[in-house]
Amino acid sequence: MVIPFSNEFHAVHIPWMRRACELSVLSTGHTAPNPMVGAVLVHNGSIVGEGRHLRLGAPHAEVEAIRSCFDPSVLPVSTLYVTLEPCNHHGKTPPCTDLILACHIPNVVVACADPHEKVRGRGLQRLVDAGVEVVLGVLEEECAFVNRRFFTYHSQQRPYVILKWAESADGFVAPAKPGPYWLSCLASRQWVHRWRTEEAAVLVGAGTVLADDPHLGARLYAGRQPIRVLVEHPPILSGQLQILRNEGQLIRIETEAARPLSQQIPRILEQLHENSVLSVLVEAGPHLQQAFIDSGLWDEIRVFTTHAYMSHGLPAAPIPTCAQLYESIPGGGDLLRIYRPNVGSPISEINRIFAP
């Protein structure tokens, strides 16, 4: 049987799993639609191998950790720590359970069970059936948070949704006169470009495209370019706009004018899920941002607030009452606030991660 984590009996595992979790974070933005996974091999209280899933299609973390072991003869007397349940199916790489069993590793400690329909406990069961001692749940919440995009995608059948905007000190996102307008400082824009490399897609509405003609690429931070998603009605935008001229994947989603936009958010997210979009950064105007908030289908809100006052203009979407401030980060002249659903709120209950 799989042994559930207990502080009384398994606290010794926490430092090694924390190292595996640290390794997994280093792969942010490189593995989607696969999860970010870290693994550590420990023998006699020392790390003898470690690894992480570097990118989509590359060997998994368990493989990298085993390959890095300086003395393979210690594998049959070592413990493998991995942040996500080892796979037991053929995908772009062979099953990790096969390698673990071939190396005769007797103990495997896992942070989270895998919600993917091809895994869902099968990897754990394969190891247990072969006589491996498996402990599950060490640093489960921390490691699940690292893979919150992956868990949301598979448990809720939709992308992880991050709403992002910048607003003036008095709550406006743009002046009344239409046209491109930089509200946030350069440091904040660099931060946003980093986020674009970390999320699978960036979503905007037609109004934002017509007003700002955004590029939506990560020009101020090195990394992968996101998929661009355009929500529009009707689809009349011309090829002269940057979003239509830039290279890379573009998903165009047409909405229905007769239906409230908030009622169409589930269909928008369903279409993104069908396109294997693990997460989406919503950089739209306040109307579309409000539609996501009203639908209850959001996971984070990131707001830059500047010191400047505008007095009038286009108001920002109000922060919902079910949101809780988790971080407040000053820097570069702007203040970044990050909100997530309150614990116990309807959205929080929807977003809870249950082991399969």
Contacts of 173 (CB under 8 A, 6+ apart): 165, 166, 167, 183, 285, 286, 313, 314, 315, 316
Give me the DSSP letters along 160-185: EEEEEEEE-TTSEEE-SS-S----S-
Whether 334 contacts 303, CB under 8 Å: no
pLDDT tens, position by position, 289-304: 999 999 999 999 999 9
Q: pLDDT tens across 197-256, in order?
A: 999 999 999 888 888 888 888 887 888 899 999 998 876 667 778 888 777 899 999 999
pLDDT-derived band at 186 (thresholds 50, 70, 90) equals confident
What is the predicted pLDDT for the residue at 85? 96
What's the confidence (pLDDT) of residue 75?
A: 97
CA nearest 269: which of 194, 200, 340? 200
Report the Cα 152 to chain-centroid distance in Å: 8
| Domain-wise residue ranges, the chain | 3-146, 153-350
Split at pLDDT 50, 70, 90, the class of 343 is: low
- CB of 153 closer than 8 Å to CB of 123: no
Give CA–CA dist 326/101, Å, rounded. 42
Topology given in CATH for the domain delimited by 3-146: Cytidine Deaminase; domain 2 (3.40.140)
User: Which residue type sits at 213?
Assistant: D
CA distance 53 to 64: 8
The amino acid present at 290, given as its one-letter code, is: Q
- pLDDT of 1 over the 90 cut: no
Instruction: Give the pLDDT confidence score for residue 36 in this predicted structure.
Output: 96
Pick from 4-8, 139-143, 207-211: least confident: 4-8
Decide if 2 contacts 86 (C-beta within 8 A).
no
pLDDT band, very low/low/confident/very high, at 180 (cuts 50, 70, 90):
low
Report the pLDDT value the prediction gives residue 177, as an integer from 0 to 100: 75
pLDDT tens profile 101-125? 999 999 999 999 999 888 888 999 9
**Amino acid identity of 7?**
N
Q: Which of 5, 13, 58, 66 is nearest to 39 (CA)?
A: 66
Give me the catalytic one of 8, 22, 50, 62.
62
Interacting residues of 42 by C-beta distance below 8 A, sequence separation 6+: 16, 48, 78, 79, 81
For the chain, how many helices (H) and strands (E)? 13, 16
Confirm if 201 and 229 have CB atoms less than 8 A apart: yes
Classify residue 354 by burial, with Cβ atoms within 10 Å: 0-12, 13-18, 19+.
Answer: exposed
Per DSSP (E only), the strands in the chain are 3-4, 38-43, 46-52, 79-84, 107-112, 133-136, 160-167, 172-174, 201-205, 227-232, 250-254, 279-282, 300-305, 314-315, 323-331, 334-341
Q: How confident is the model at residue 356 (pLDDT cuts 50, 70, 90)?
A: very low
* First and final C-alpha spacing in the chain: 15
Say whether 117 is catalytic.
Answer: no
What are the phi and psi torsion angles at 190 (to 5°)? -65, -40
Name the nearest CA neighbour of 46 among 83, 26, 74. Answer: 74
pTM for the structure as a whole: 0.90
Name the CATH topology of 153-350: Dihydrofolate Reductase, subunit A (3.40.430)
pLDDT digits (tens, 9 = 90+) for 51-85: 999 998 899 999 999 999 999 999 999 999 999 99
Higher pLDDT pick, 314 / 82: 82
Q: What are the percentages of helix, strand and coil residues in the chain, rounded to 5?
A: 35, 25, 45
Q: What is the DSSP pairing of strand 46-52 with strand 38-43?
A: antiparallel
CA separation, residue 186 to residues 162, 182, 214, 304, 334 (Å): 21, 9, 16, 12, 10
